Structure 1
Amino acid sequence: MSDSFERNAAVIQRRWPALYARLMAEDSGTVQADLVEGQGSTLSIAGIQLTSRHDRTREALLQADSLPAGDAVVHLYGTGLGDLQGAVLQRPNLERVYVYILNGAVFALVLQLLDQTTWLDDPRVELLYAADLPEIRLPFFALPSELVLADDFNAKIRDRLISETHLVFNNREFNPDEPEIAERLAASADLVRNDTDVAELFGTHSGEVFVIATGPSLEKHFDNLRAIAGQVPRPLFICVDTAYRPLRDHGIRPDLVVSIDQRISERHLPAQGSEGIRLVYMPLVDPQLLMAWQGERYVGYSASPIYAHMREQLPKSSLYVGGSVIHPAVDLAVKMGASRITLFGADFAFPMNKTHAGWQDGDLGPQLGAARHWVLDGHGQRVKTQLNFRSYLCELERYIAGNPQVRFFNTSRDGALIVGTTFHPELTP
C-alpha cells in the first residue's frame, strides 16, 4: 500500500470505521485509470476526466462559488481529487460539509494515489455513500464527472441529482408567454369552463386500480388485462393517453384515460368507440380532440405556472404532474380513494430493445438508438433509458414515498426498479 493510502485510511478508520470497512471491500483494481496532462494533470477514469487537466484549483473555486455564499451547511456529491472539498472548506462561515461518495471504487483508487487527509481530517466534514440516504440534500454541488461514473449502488441518487440540476432547463418549454401555449389555452377556455371538474371523481373508488402506461413490458400483459376486464367485480382501469390505442387494439376498454400533452392527437386518442370511457385532461390538450371524444370529460390543472391565470378565472382542482402523464394518472387513482395501485408498462426504460408497447420505434419521440443512459431494472441489471425518463422515475418514487397509505405494485422486472413498489405476486412474469 502507498504512504498516501495508509494516511488516508488511518483518518477514515478513526472517524468512520463502518465506512472504512466498506471501502476496503471496493475493488479499485477494476477501475480503468490514466494520468492526463495539460497545464496541470488529472486522472481519467474510463475516458472521463475527474477534474480539469489545466487548473484544478481554479475549477474547484468556480464550482464552490456556485453554492450559496451564506449557507453554513453544504452538500458535495462526488469526491473527485479533493479540490472542491478544499475550496469549500475555505469559507469562514461553514459549519458542516457533507461529502457523498458516488463511486466507491474510484474513491478507493484516489485514496491510494493522493493525500486527502487535509479535508478528511477536518472536523466539519462528514463522509458517507450517497445512497445511504434515500434523497438528495440541498444546497449541493455534484461533480459532473462522477455523475457519469456513479456506480450501481449510487445510481438512484445520481438520477435525483441530474433531475434537480436540469429542472430549470426541463421547464423551459412550458412558458405561459409562448404564443403557441397562449393560443392553446385560449382555444380551450370554453371547454374548461363547461366540462366537469376532476374533483367530481375524487373519493369515488376505494378498491384496487390498475394504472396502465405504455412501456414495452405492457405487451406481456394484454391477455391478462383482457381477461381481468371481463370479470365482475374487477379493478378500475386508468390508462395514459399513449396506452389507449394499444389497449383498444387488443380488445381492452379502459375506464378512464388521462391526457395532459399538447402534442397528443386523434392518432393517439381516436374518438370512435370512446363512448362510456371517461377522459381526464388538462387545458393544453387539443380542443378538437376533446370535442370529438364521445365519453364524459373531466378537466383539471397541474401546479405549473402556465395555468396560473386560467386557474384564477376558471377554478378547477389539480392533479400532480412530475413531467409525465403517468404522474397525474397515479395521483387520480390515489385521490379517487384507491387502497392498491398496480402499475403496468411503467418501465421508464427501453427493455426488450423497444421504446413503447404498440408503437414503432420513434413514433412517440425517443428512438432506441439515441438511448445513452441507464437505470437498474428489477433484475439488478442495467437497462437503456433516456435522461427525462430517469427524471420521471424519480418523481414517481417521491410521490409513492409521500403516500404510504397506498400499496403500490409493479408488474415487470424488465423495466426500471421503482422504489416503493412491490412486484405483484400473480401478475409479474
Structure 2
Amino acid sequence: MSESFEGNAQAIQARWPRLLERLLAEDSAGLQADLVEGLGSTLSISGIQLTSRHDRTAEARTQAASLPADSPVIHLYGTGLGDLQQILLENPALQRLQVHILNGAVFALVLQLLDQQAWLNDPRVELGYAGDLAEIQLPFFALPSELVLADDYNAKIRDRLVSEVHLAFNNRDFVADSPEVTQRLQSSAELVASDSDVAQLFGTQPGREVFVIATGPSLERHFERLREIRAQARRPLFICVDTAYRPLLKQGIEPDIVVSIDHRISGLHLPPEKSAAITLVYLPMVDPQILALWQGPRYVGYSASPIYARMREQLPKAQLYVGGSVIHPALDLAVKMGAEQVTLFGADFAFPMNKTHAGWLDGELGPQLGAARHWVLDGHGQRVRTQLNFRSYLCELERFIAGHPRVRFYNSSRDGAMIAGTIYHPEFSQ
C-alpha cells in the first residue's frame, strides 16, 4: 500500500468510515491506466484523460469560473485528480463542497497515486457516491472525463447530468419565434380551435388499468398476448404512441387512443384508413394535413413549451407533460384519465435484440443501430446500447413516475432500460 494511499485512507476513515470500506472493495487493479505526458502530465483510464495533460491547474480554474462565485454550496460530480476541488476551496464564500464519486475504482486508484489529503481534510467537504442519491443536485459541475467513465452504480445520475448539460442544445430546434414553428402553428390554428380539448378525457377512466405502448424492440415479444387481451370484453385501455400505431395495426391490434406530438410524423406513421374508431390526441406541432385525414375523434392539448405560449392564450386547452418524447404525454394522459395501474410496453429507451424499434427497419425512424455509442443498464443488470437522447427521455420518465406515487407503474420487459420507479410485471416480464 502506497504512502499516498495510507494518508488519504486515514483522512477518509476519520470522516467517512463506511465510504472507505466501499472504496477498499473497488477493483482499481482492473483498470487500464496510463500516464500521459504533455507540457505536464495526467492519468488516462481506458484512453480517457482525467484532466488536461498540459496544465491541470489552468483547466481547473476555467472549470471553476463556470460556476456561480457567490454560491455557498457547490456539487462536484467526479473526483478527477483533485485539482478542481482545490481551486473551488480557495473561494471563502464556499460553505460546502459536496463531491460525488462517479467511478469508485478510478477514485480508489487516484488515492493510491496522489496525495488528496488537503481537500479531504477540509471541513467544508462532503464525500459520497453519486448513485446514493436519486437526483442530481444544483449548482453542479460534472467532470467531462468521468461522465464517460461513470460506473454501473452511478449510471443513473450520470444520465441525469448529461441530460441537464445538453438541455439547451436539445431544445435548439424549438425556438418559439423561429419561422418554421410560427408557420406550423399558424397552419394548425383552425384545427386547434375546432377540435376537442384533451381535458375532456381527463377523469373519464377512474381506476382503470391502462397499457401505454411505445415502439421499443421488446414490444415484438408481446404482440400475441396484446392481441388476445384486446379481444376481451373487459380489458385495459390501450394508449399507444404514434410510431407504434402502424406496427400494432399490422398485428391486428387496434389501440383505443394514439398520441402524437412530433412535427416530423407523416402518413407513413399514422395511416388514416382504419382510424374511424380510434381517438387521436395531439399537440399543435403535428402536421395539420395528417390531422385532417384522421377519421376518428381528435383531441388537442399543449405542453409547457414556450413555443405554445401565445397559442395557449388565444386558444386555451389543457396541458400534457412532455419531456422530449411522445411516451411522456401518453403516460401523463393515462394518469390524468384516472389510471391507477399503468403497464409500459416497448418502453426500452435502448436497442435490445440488436434492433432500434419494433415493426420498423433499422434507421426508418431516425436512429441507426450502428451509431449507438452509449449504454444503459437493462433489467438483467447488463449494459445495453442506446443513444444520448434516449437516456434523457428515460430520465424525464423516471421523474414523472416519481411524482405520481399513487399510481402503480409496471414494466413489461427486462430487455430494455431499467426504469426507476417501475415494477417488473409478473406476467409480461418473464
TM-score interval, normalised by the smaller of the two chains: over 0.9
Match of 1:69 in 2: 69
Match of 1:376 in 2: 377
Match of 1:113 in 2: 113
Partners in 1 of 2:71 and 2:321 — Cα distance? 31
SS in 1 for 2:332: helix
1:234 aligns with 2:235: yes
Gaps of 5+ in 2: none
How far residue 181 of structure 1 moved from its aligned partner, in angstroms, is 1.1
Q: Percent identity?
A: 74
Partners in 2 of 1:46 and 1:142 — Cα distance? 19
Match of 2:328 in 1: 327
Match of 2:135 in 1: 135
Q: 1:222-250: per-residue Cα shift (whole Å, max 9, x none)?
A: 00000000111100000000000000000
Match of 2:262 in 1: 261
Match of 1:364 in 2: 365
How far residue 177 of structure 1 moved from its aligned partner, in angstroms, is 1.6
Partners in 2 of 1:54 and 1:203 — Cα distance? 61
Q: TM-score, normalised by structure 2?
A: 0.99
Match of 1:312 in 2: 313
How far residue 309 of structure 1 moved from its aligned partner, in angstroms, is 0.5
SS in 2 for 1:128: strand
How many equivalent pairs are there?
A: 429
How far residue 92 of structure 1 moved from its aligned partner, in angstroms, is 1.0
Letter in 2 for 1:231: Q
Map of 1:9-158 to 2, 5 A cutoff?
A: 9-158=9-158
Gaps of 5+ in 1: none
SS in 1 for 2:118: helix
Map of 1:198-277 to 2, 5 A cutoff?
A: 198-206=198-206, 207-277=208-278
SS in 1 for 2:321: coil
Q: TM-score, normalised by structure 1?
A: 1.00
Partners in 2 of 1:198 and 1:230 — Cα distance? 26
SS in 2 for 1:267: coil
Partners in 1 of 2:233 and 2:14 — Cα distance? 64
Partners in 2 of 1:305 and 1:180 — Cα distance? 14
SS in 1 for 2:263: coil
Partners in 2 of 1:409 and 1:275 — Cα distance? 30
1:301 aligns with 2:339: no
Letter in 1 for 2:280: L
1:279 aligns with 2:259: no
Partners in 2 of 1:143 and 1:271 — Cα distance? 49
Match of 1:425 in 2: 426
Q: 1:335-386: per-residue Cα shift (whole Å, max 9, x none)?
A: 0000000000000000000000000000000000000000000000000000
Partners in 2 of 1:175 and 1:122 — Cα distance? 44
Partners in 1 of 2:366 and 2:326 — Cα distance? 14
Q: 1:384-410: per-residue Cα shift (whole Å, max 9, x none)?
A: 000000000000000000000100000
How far residue 193 of structure 1 moved from its aligned partner, in angstroms, is 0.4
How far residue 40 of structure 1 moved from its aligned partner, in angstroms, is 0.4
How far residue 317 of structure 1 moved from its aligned partner, in angstroms, is 0.4
How far residue 178 of structure 1 moved from its aligned partner, in angstroms, is 1.6
Q: 1:130-183: per-residue Cα shift (whole Å, max 9, x none)?
A: 000000000000000000000000000000000000011111110122211111
What is the CA RMSD across the aligned residues, in angstroms?
Answer: 0.4
SS in 2 for 1:343: strand
Structure 1 consecutive aligned stretches of length 4 or more whose deviation exceeds 6 Å? none
